[in-house]
Amino acid sequence: MSLGRRLVRVASPLAALGVWQLLTSLDVNLWLRFEQFPTVVEVASALADRIGTEAYWQDLGHSLRRIALGFLLAAVLGVAAGTAVARSRWAADVLGPLVEVVRPIPAIALVPVAILLLPTNEQGIVFITCAAALFPVLVSTRHAVRALDPAWEEAVLTLGGGQARVLFSVVLPGSLPGIFGGLSVGIGVAWICVISAEMISGEYGVGYRTWQDYTVVDYPGVFVGMATIGVLGRLTSTAVEALGRRVTAWLPRPAERGTDVPSRAPGSPADAAPTRTAVVVPVPEKEPVP
């Protein structure tokens, strides 16, 4: 990444903070009302006070533990179920209709189900977090597996490999880009729902503390909670994307836009012969086998 792009990425949030400070310090009240908003200085002061307390770090620990457990369960179940639905007609007939019926239901609407079904609030929040991240992972895995080139599987079978070899040498490695795309979406949705669940039925956590600050009209504390949620979401999504790039490092990477193409010396063989353009033929999604 060039220095100019790095500067733009740093200047963008700083400019947003500057506009926020200006609007709140001047108590701007046009169509949008900023007179009750805390200023950036007030939020920064509240954040500095909160960081020095044990309760702040305890809330972070509870939220991170819930995200870790729920997201890990969603990743395992989503990849397994998505692969099964894509590879097996029996699994597609049994699980497919259930997935399509339950998937449109917002995970936060499952709070009453979690309260009735599970014995503790902690387990209920993990359940909601898992449900939120499950379907993006499942659907992405299903599409990624079905889009694989059948020639890869046929090559393994021709060389004497069994279904297990096909699964672990072709299906899962070939589907990794799509799987990690679903995981990246899932971690963001999981944060939305874990915070909402903590606000409704939690006892500890960043969402619970943010709602408590709102009820006692501690608006700087509310914005501290929002900033904390944003930073945690950014860090976890970056970690998932970094893991995805590391796991799929063997895949060819497209050239980034704006990069300079290496120049060739005049009279080189590449200049003498015309360059052929590769034609990419789309591969239809593979139907699940019985």
pLDDT at 35: 84
For residue 153, pLDDT beyond 50: yes
The average confidence (pLDDT) of the chain is 84
Confidence of residue 138 (pLDDT cuts 50, 70, 90): very high
The per-residue pLDDT for 257 is: 54
What dihedral angle (degrees, nearest 10) is formed by the CA atoms of 134, 136, 139, 142?
Answer: -80
Q: For residues 35 and 39, what is the distance between their CA atoms, to the nearest angstrom?
A: 9
In the chain the first and final C-alpha atoms are separated, in Å, by 48
Name the band, by pLDDT with cuts 50, 70 and 90, for residue 220.
very high
Mean pLDDT of 88-103: 90
At 211 the pLDDT is 92
* Pair of tokens at residue 169: 């040498």
- How many helices and strands (H and E) does the chain possess? 12, 0
What is the band of 158 on the pLDDT scale with cuts at 50, 70, 90?
confident
More reliable by pLDDT, 258 or 47: 47
Widest distance between CA atoms in the chain:
77
pLDDT digits (tens, 9 = 90+) for 7-41: 988 899 899 999 988 988 888 888 888 888 899 99
